[in-house]
Amino acid sequence: MDHSGAVTPLHADELPIDLALVRGLVHRSFPEYAGRSLTLLADSGSSNALFRLGSDLLVRLPRQPGGGGTIDKEARWLPWVAAQVAVSVPRVVGVGDPALGYPERWSVTTWLPGRRPSLPSRAAQSAGKGTGGGLLAADLARFIADLQGMPLPSHAVGSEDLTWYRGLPLAELDEDFRATVGECRALDMARGLDLDACLRLWDQALAGSAAESRGPSWFHGDLVLENLLIDDGGALCGVLDFGGLAIGDPTVDLIVGWESLDADGRAVVRQALDVDDATWVASRGWALLIALVTLPYYGATMPGRCADRLAMAHAALAGD
**Domain chopping of the chain, boundaries:** 19-110, 122-318
CA 320 to CA 318: how far, in whole Å? 7
CA 252 to CA 167: how far, in whole Å? 7
Give the 3-state secondary structure of residue 72: helix
CA 251 to CA 177: how far, in whole Å? 17
Q: What is the per-residue pLDDT for 5?
A: 86
Which class would CATH give 19-110? alpha beta
Q: What is the per-residue pLDDT for 213?
A: 79
Query: Which homologous superfamily does the CATH classification assign to the domain defined by 122-318?
Result: Aminoglycoside phosphotransferase (APH), C-terminal lobe (3.90.1200.10)
Q: What is the per-residue pLDDT for 131?
A: 41
| Beta sheet of 106-110, edge-to-edge order | 38-40, 48-53, 57-62, 106-110, 92-96
What is the H or E stretch that residue 210 is in?
helix 195-211
pLDDT tens, the chain, 320 aa long: 445 689 999 999 999 999 999 999 999 999 999 999 999 998 888 999 999 999 999 999 999 999 999 999 999 999 999 999 999 999 999 999 999 999 999 999 999 999 999 998 655 555 444 344 689 999 999 999 999 999 999 999 989 999 999 999 999 999 999 999 999 999 998 989 999 999 999 999 999 999 987 889 999 999 999 999 999 999 999 999 999 999 999 999 999 999 999 999 999 999 999 999 999 999 999 999 999 999 999 999 999 999 999 999 999 999 97
Q: What is the per-residue pLDDT for 121?
A: 66
| Backbone dihedral angles phi then psi of residue 238, each to the nearest 5 degrees | -170, 150
Domains 19-110 and 122-318 share a fold: no
Q: What is the per-residue pLDDT for 132?
A: 46
CA 33 to CA 108: how far, in whole Å? 10
Q: What's the burial of 169, exposed, middle or buried (CB within 10 Å: 0-12/13-18/19+)?
A: middle
